[in-house]
Each structure stands twice: as C-alpha cells, then as structure tokens.
Structure 1
Amino acid sequence: MKILEKFRNKQENQFATQPVLAFLGDSVTQGCFEIYSKNGRIEPEYYPEESYSRKLQKILELLYPSVNPIIINAGISGDNATSGLSRVERDILAYKPDLVVVCYGLNDACAGQGGLDGYRESLRGIFRKLNDSGAEVIFMTPNLRINDICYECPDKMIENCALNIAANENEGWLERYIDAARGAAAECGVKVCDCYRIWQRLRDNGVNTNALLSNAVNHPTRELHWMFAYELMRRLLDD
C-alpha cells in the first residue's frame, strides 16, 4: 500500500513528513481487556499499550527504526459504526491520516436484524468520508465472541452479559454483520483485513476460541492482538 512509500521516504530523509496511522473502532481497538462490575455497570480494564495499533507500531518501528510514525487510537469502549460515523471528522480526519483502520461489528451485531441495515449504511458513510479525504482505508474484521451458553461466573451481571452475547453469536448475527461489512467495503473500494475468517478457521480446527477472550465475552487476550497487528502488516505489504 502507498503508506509504506511514506515510511521509505521518511527512512531515507529524516526531514520528510511523518506517516500518520489512525484507528477507528470499539473497545478492542481502544485496548480493553478484562471486565468487572461496579455501581451496576460493567467496566473494562484499559491497557492501550497492549492494543493492536501499538503492536503494529512496534512492528513498523522494527522495520523502519528512524521513522517514528504517529498513531491515533480513536477506539471507544461500547462504540458502534453509527457512532463512529458521527465522530469520524473530529476523531480521525482532524489528524489528516495517511491510513485509517476501521473495525466495527462486535457491538453492532447485538442489535440483530433491526440494526443490520444501519450498520451497513454507517460503514458506507465512514468509508466514503475517508476515501474523500485521500486516506487509504482498511476494514479489519473482528474476532469471534463467546458461544458458550453454559457459561457461569460468580459475578451474575457479567454472566448475564456473556450469556446474552453467546445466544446472539450462536444465532449467527455477527457473521451476517461481517458479511454486510465486506460488501460495503467492496462497494467503496476499501481493502479488507479478514481476521474474523482466521478466528473461524481456528475454531473449525479445534481451537477453543472462548479461551482466547480475556473477558470471556468479546475482548481478545493481549497475545491475540499480535495476530491483528501481523495481519495488518501483511495487508500493508499488498500492492
């Protein structure tokens, strides 16, 4: 992708412009992991330094040690594509990024059939705004969520959350939403980094993907953020 031309130019000429990479998404993008209940709400533990954007930054700094790219992490816990569309100018375009990675679906899919069209249209809106800005765009599909309908937890609020999401997952809503996202990306000429398909292959080959969720619901472990980062790097190397 063209973003790597900026890395090469900066590596060869320290006075060249720094590459700017921005990330728009939900709690996984933000860097949320374990969860706990407090005052009647479920709250996440925040470790943005463990997020896939930081891990991609580490890979890029290993490959281009003198470039020091600018990373904008605009992930927000609980966010969805409709909200992302409403804030894309403020949180992304204001920084004039060269590349934007968008990742939505985990929260959106909880709305089932009633939210599917809105999700698709919101992604189209995000992609069009980013395309119009001149930035390169990647849509990264997310991880799988819990599918264990027998999940038990001492914290009943977390248990109920997990069971509701497991039911939604087993009804196939996330897969339908990701299919819609792939279609929207194709319509808008946006490249896809299909990590969801990798998670599906893991499960199909006997991996307990529930054990790869740090909050037992929908947040991948810190180690699995490396997979996102490596797959994004592979996508950047594509023409």
Structure 2
Amino acid sequence: MLFSLSMQIFVRALFVVTLVAGGAGVCCQADDVATASAEKVQSTKANYFGDLKQKLTQTWPNNRLVRFVFHGHSVPAGYFRTPIVRRFDSYPVLFHQGLCERYPTAVIDVCNTAIGGENSVSGAKRFADDVLTLKPDVVFIDYCLNDRRVGVDTAQDCWRTMVEQAVAKGVMVVLLTPTPDSKEDISDPDSPLAKHAESIRQLAREFELPLVDSYSQFQRLVGEGEDVTDYLSQSNHPNRDGHQVVADQILSLFE
C-alpha cells in the first residue's frame, strides 16, 4: 500500500516537472499518443478481417458464400445525376468486382440496402429487418451526406445503434466518412461534412472498427491540385471516378 502511494506521488511529481521544463516534453507525450493511436487503427485494419480473408481463400468444397451488405443513402445506392442510377459504376459493385478478382475461388455476394434520400435516423429503424436478416458477414454504413439534416449528435446516436446491433449478432462493420459535396469547401475543418466525418472517425475509434475515410482521401486529392468536381456527377453524387476512389479504399482492407 505504501509502495503504491509512493509511486503515485512520484508519477505526479514527474508530470509537474515535465510541464515546468517546457512544452517539448508535453508535445513528445502527445505525439507518442497520436502515434500509438494511428498504429492501433492500422492494426485494426490489418487484423479485423483476418479470419474472413482466410475464408475467401478457401476452395470448393470447403468454401462458403461470403456476404457483404452496403447500407446508406443515394451514393451507395448508385445515384449519379438524379434520377439516373448507374449501379454498375457505384462503389459497392466496383468493390465486388475487385474482390472477385483478388479471390477467384471465393463465392462472394454483395447486397445493397441503400435508399436515396435517406438519413441514418430511418436507416437505423430498418437496420434489423432489412440488413441483419440478410445474415451478412460485413456491413458497410454510409449516411453522412444526408445526416447533415439531422445534426451530428443525432446521427452519431443512430450510427452507434446500428453498430451495436451488428456487433451483438457477430457481424463485422466498416464505417465510411462522406464523399464530397461541391457546395461545401472540403478544406474547411468547420464545414458540416467535416464535422460529420470526424464524428464517424470517433465511432470507429470507440468500437475499434475499420474506417474508410473517403473524406480525407478527397481532401488529399484536392490538396494535390485536383478539382473535386472532376470526381462528381452532380454536386453531392460521385461519378465513376469518385466511386472508384471509395472502392479502392475498401479493397485495401482485403489485400
């Protein structure tokens, strides 16, 4: 007991000395925490699908159907310039094609429960009936664009509800930050989409889930001099190139 108390006093004293000594020690601590957090995210991405990737490599007669479900709004549903739907150019189908090429002996099914115009409030209400009844191995959730109508807090609660339901059933989950909207400045950290994107990152950290950070990827492209409209079919819907950006990120989880 005395040893434990002495150690507590020593740790507190050391912390005070570090603060007094200047910002360098504190910054170093913060950098270490950030590095550890980043490494944990990479570890989650690398290990989360380990067993599933093993199943995808199995051959007949030992293989089985592996099912992926995409749940969300108009983007995963395949809407381009509304009301035109180009399902075969949407990221769920591009992912399906790419995964089949990587795992040619796997039986892979991709289901799409996305509805144009929907937000996570209604998406959460039908999650059990429309998504979990399909008995998926993995569910992808993408609602941020339309969640701007309900606000960050409400949306995060709804996403959390869906994640908890899936985890309770042993279903793996991947969260997606939004694709761009040309009516917002993608470089503005205070824009509505940026705030929703950060909310989803928080959920991914909270549940230790893989994250497809589409928003950061498009920010990077714009930062490199790309025009965001080159990836859009209308202000809030990606074109095929935009969908390919998302599909490539998802496929990287299964390399």
Shorter-chain TM band: 0.7 to 0.9
Aligned to 2:64: 17
- RMSD, aligned CA: 1.9
SS in 1 for 2:253: helix
Aligned to 2:30: none
Cα distance, 1:169 vs structure 2: 9.6
- The 5 Å alignment of 1:24-173 reads 24-35=71-82, 44-111=83-150, 115-147=151-183, 166=184, 172-173=191-192
TM-score (norm 1): 0.80
For the Cα contact (< 8 Å) 1:124–1:188, is it kept in 2?
Answer: no
Aligned to 2:217: 198
Cα distance, 1:220 vs structure 2: 0.5
| Cα distance in structure 1, aligned partners of 2:208 and 2:123 | 19
For the Cα contact (< 8 Å) 1:110–1:173, is it kept in 2?
Answer: no
How many correspondences in the alignment? 205
The one-character-per-residue Cα deviations of 1:69-119 (angstroms, maximum 9, x if unpaired) are 1111111101111111111112210011111111120011244xxx22101
Amino acid at match of 1:56: F
SS in 2 for 1:198: helix
| Cα distance in structure 2, aligned partners of 1:169 and 1:82 | 27
Aligned to 1:7: 56
Cα distance, 1:17 vs structure 2: 1.7
Unaligned runs of 5+ in 2: 1-48
Kindly indicate which of the two structures has a greater share of residues assigned to helix: 2
SS in 1 for 2:219: helix
Cα distance, 1:212 vs structure 2: 1.8
Unaligned runs of 5+ in 1: 36-43, 148-165
| Cα distance in structure 2, aligned partners of 1:67 and 1:198 | 29
For the Cα contact (< 8 Å) 1:50–1:222, is it kept in 2?
Answer: yes
For the Cα contact (< 8 Å) 1:146–1:169, is it kept in 2?
Answer: no
Amino acid at match of 2:70: F
| Cα distance in structure 1, aligned partners of 2:85 and 2:53 | 30
For the Cα contact (< 8 Å) 2:187–2:219, is it kept in 1?
Answer: no
User: Quick check: which has more Rg, 1 or 2?
Assistant: 2
Amino acid at match of 2:170: G
Q: Does 1:221 align with 2:239?
A: yes
Q: Which has the higher contact order (CA 8 A, sep 6+)?
A: 1
Q: Does 1:185 align with 2:204?
A: yes
Cα distance, 1:193 vs structure 2: 1.2
